[in-house]
Chain A
Amino acid sequence: MTVSTQDSTPRRRFGGGFKLKLFAYALVAPVVLLILGLVAYPFFFAIWVSFTDMVIGSTGNFIGFKNFEYLAGTATFWAAIRNTIVIVLVSDVLKLVIGLGLALLVHQNLPGRGIFRSFLMLPWAMPAFVAFLTWRVLYQPIGGGINLILNQTGLYAGTVDWLGTRTTAMASVIIASVWRGFPFWFISILAALQSVPKELYEAAIVDGANTWQRFWNVTIPSILPVIIVTTLLSSIWTANGFEHVWLLTAGGPSDATMVFPVLAYFGMQTQRIGEAAAVSVYMLPVLAILVIFATSLMMRREE
């Protein structure tokens, strides 16, 4: 177990090996201990709880896969699977298209691009709960902004209960969460565009590549790593997002927008903790793949 400063030459004047080692561990210890206690331990505890019949006020007994079997027999559970997949896939695609498109526009040498960039990032600066409460008001059938605009511009004369109708609720939730989530993609892709070496484009021009060829052969490959990491992170966050569904529809109407985190929260509210934990644990396999993939990409990018 050796400690040295990071470059290859040993630097004795920084103190003896043991003292230095102790210092390094002492500095990192608080964060490591808190993460072990507040993330790692609860993580494994949640898995244990999902195999018990724990309710509020009891420690619960091991009951094997009973919670998982029970959940798999309910329609709400299957609705949550389907809805979570739909929300993640559709909003990822929309955020990618909108984020990439706007980043390409702002990346041009346009006068005033800084102002556009600031405005386009505004949803990201708003608290998520504020954004989704505002959208909830916008979607109101009477007095809501969306119906008002549709009526006044003559596009549609009726009154739609956007969040209260099975056919429109999901699309409404997705639109609101794309509104709040696209700036992260926009700014990540914009930063990636700005870091593509100019020489690559010059070389492509020398080789006679036209604009589309340069876009597909230079721009896209250069920003692809950023797009992949952004997609992974955004998928993890969206799949585990609670506010957007909770504040807009609370999973309704009749499970049309039910997702895993809201289902787990309802389980918690009805005090059946074992079942609630099983809901979260059901997500774990897919989530673990995304997280491991994202972690290794982020570690590699960092080195």
Chain B
Amino acid sequence: MASLAEIASAAPTNAGASARRRFLIARLLSYAALIVAVILVLFPVYWMLATSLKLPRDILRVPSLWPSRFSLANFEKLLADGQFLLSIRNSFIVASTVTVISVIISSFAAYSMVRFRYRFRGVIGRLILFAYLTPGSLLFIPLSIVMAQLKLGNSLQGLILVYLTFSLPLSTWLLQGYFRGVPRELEEQGMIDGLTRFGALLRITLPLSAPGLAAVAIFTFTGAWNELLFALVLTTSESVRTAPLALNYLITSDVLPWGPLMAGAAISSVPLMILYFVAQRFMVAGMTEGSVKG
């Protein structure tokens, strides 16, 4: 393997001490590079939190790496009129509903495509993948017209329906991979024991694919939680704004309120950070299997 440590350790010198030294130097360099990378990754996260905790007037007047005075004033200002909390609530409603709908009907579809052979299976597989790769930047214009015609514009229901455009293809694609890993013999055994085929899906395949379902649920929730473009185009009134939209409108107002903005950013990250730390293992597996943007 072309690791730095091995370049050192595999060097064909027979002087043990020299090889040892080169090994240590390679180790040291590896750690140094990784630590630099981690600092670069963490700095923006730190900056977001630090800015949110500064006194509002200090942000511009006393620029500093470390908040000179800690304060929750930005959070109070952000939450004062209840509008941001409402948008967090809207985000939760939309993201959870999309997740539930998506996981249920995608697992049916994925199961059908993995366990049965039928005429249009290949076509459907391709359709799902095309749908996954069809960008929102192409769909937002026609979808806003369609939603207006359906009288679903400017509503959470409309957003939920539109978010299925990216969550269904991804969920179905990922779940196919997980279901392939469930041995069909287990289902057959269950059916000999009296389960129907649908019962075998519910009682055997789904429970055995729990890590996959968890990963798919998290990806779907994340995708819906993060979405900005559709929300921007489809909603007009404040009462149906989601969290990214609420923050977007903070920066388009005349004065740029950095403190409250970073407070809102920090609050919006919390649900995803929790999901990420609880379920990192599933997510990494799902991401590498299905190529997920996240």
| Contact partners of B51 in chain A: CB under 8 A | 137
| Contact partners of A34 in chain B: CB under 8 A | 105, 164, 168
Q: Are B176 and A302 in contact, with the CB atoms below 8 A?
A: yes
Report A247-290 residues with CB < 8 Å from chain B CB.
247, 260-261, 264-265, 268, 273, 276-277, 280-281, 283-284, 287
Please, what's the 1-or-0 string for B248-280, where 1 marks a CB less than 8 Å from any CB in chain A?
Answer: 100100000010011001101100110110001
Q: Nearest-CB distance from A159 to chain B (Å)? A: 10
Q: Nearest-CB distance from B102 to chain A (Å)? A: 9
* Cα of A28 to Cα of B130 in the assembled complex, Å: 16
Contact of A299 among B47, B125, B276 (CB under 8 A): B125
Q: Nearest-CB distance from A239 to chain B (Å)? A: 8
Contact of B247 among A4, A23, A31, A133 (CB under 8 A): A133
Please, what's the 1-or-0 string for A120-132, where 1 marks a CB less than 8 Å from any CB in chain B?
Answer: 1111111111110
A-B contact count (CB 8 A): 320
* Cα of A98 to Cα of B38 in the assembled complex, Å: 12
Q: Nearest-CB distance from A241 to chain B (Å)? A: 8
| Contact partners of A118 in chain B: CB under 8 A | 280
Q: Does B143 contact A (CB under 8 A)?
A: yes
Q: Are B117 and A3 in contact, with the CB atoms below 8 A?
A: yes
Binding site secondary structure of chain A: helix
> Which B residues form the contact surface with A (CB < 8 A)?
1-7, 10, 27, 30-31, 33-34, 37-38, 40-45, 47-48, 51, 59-60, 63-65, 105-106, 108-109, 111-119, 124-131, 133-146, 161-162, 164-165, 168-169, 172, 176-177, 184, 188, 191-192, 197-198, 222, 225-226, 228-229, 232-233, 244, 247-248, 251, 258, 261-262, 265-266, 268-269, 272-273, 275-276, 280, 284, 287-288, 291-294
| Contact partners of A1 in chain B: CB under 8 A | 118-119
- Count, chain A residues at interface, CB 8 A: 114
Q: Are A242 and B131 in contact, with the CB atoms below 8 A?
A: no
Q: Are B108 and A277 in contact, with the CB atoms below 8 A?
A: no
Q: Are B142 and A268 in contact, with the CB atoms below 8 A?
A: no
What 4 A-B pairs come out closest when comparing CB atoms?
A240-B135, A215-B2, A42-B142, A261-B137
| Contact partners of A42 in chain B: CB under 8 A | 139, 142-143, 146
